[in-house]
Amino acid sequence: MARCFVGVMLPEDLKDDVIKIQQLVPHLPIDCKLVERENLHICLSFLGEVEDDKLDVLYKNLDRVCSKSGSLSVNVSGIKLIPSEKYVRVIVLDCFSKELENLGKDIEKELGGDAKPPHITLCRVKNIMDKNQTIEKIKGIKVDVGEFEISSVQVIKSHLEKTGPIYTVLYERKLL
């Protein structure tokens, strides 16, 4: 059994830009866990526990879905609170691409899982000491990472450790 999701691991140059924004978060009046540099990604569909003998079928289904899609341009700009300002659990960067959003929906439809609008998680919030000040400061963070190309999609295994998850790419499908 493997805890898996379908997503896009970020290229190194984009990680540099995301880390610069992420470094602003510890200055907020919150207690949070930052996503490690090597784990920065866009999740297209969280699959949960997948039996090892089902992985080959999963890869074939992903191939079929992705065969309809070429490389995608994604614009990373804006910061968002999930699920809402009233109850902040995660701070993310918005990823704007109708094509990527549609690909996520197609993956969810054909492979299962849970697709959300594309985003890059900066941190998971444990506690907010001053919610109003935090939200005000977050809204003041200017984010415009810009565009980047997605040329492949990965099936990623998430192994949970006490220090956090360890991600391993199990399968990669190029977008033609």
DSSP 85: S
Locate tokens 């963070």: which residue? 141
Q: Return d(Cα 119, Cα 78) in angstroms, integer.
A: 10
Q: Return d(Cα 86, Cα 132) in angstroms, integer.
A: 10
Exactly one of 18, 35, 40, 41 is catalytic; which is it? 41
27 is catalytic: no
- Two structure tokens written together for 149: 């190309």
159 is catalytic: no
Alpha-carbon dihedral sign for residues 84, 39, 169, 97: positive
Q: Return d(Cα 127, Cα 96) in angstroms, integer.
A: 28
Exactly one of 15, 119, 157, 173 is catalytic; which is it? 119
Q: Return d(Cα 94, Cα 77) in angstroms, integer.
A: 6
Instruction: Kindly give the residue spans of alpha helices, DSSP state H, lying in 12-164.
Output: 12-22, 55-66, 98-111, 131-140
DSSP 23: T
Are 175 and 25 in contact by the 8 Å Cβ rule? The answer is no
Q: Report the catalytic residues.
A: 41, 119
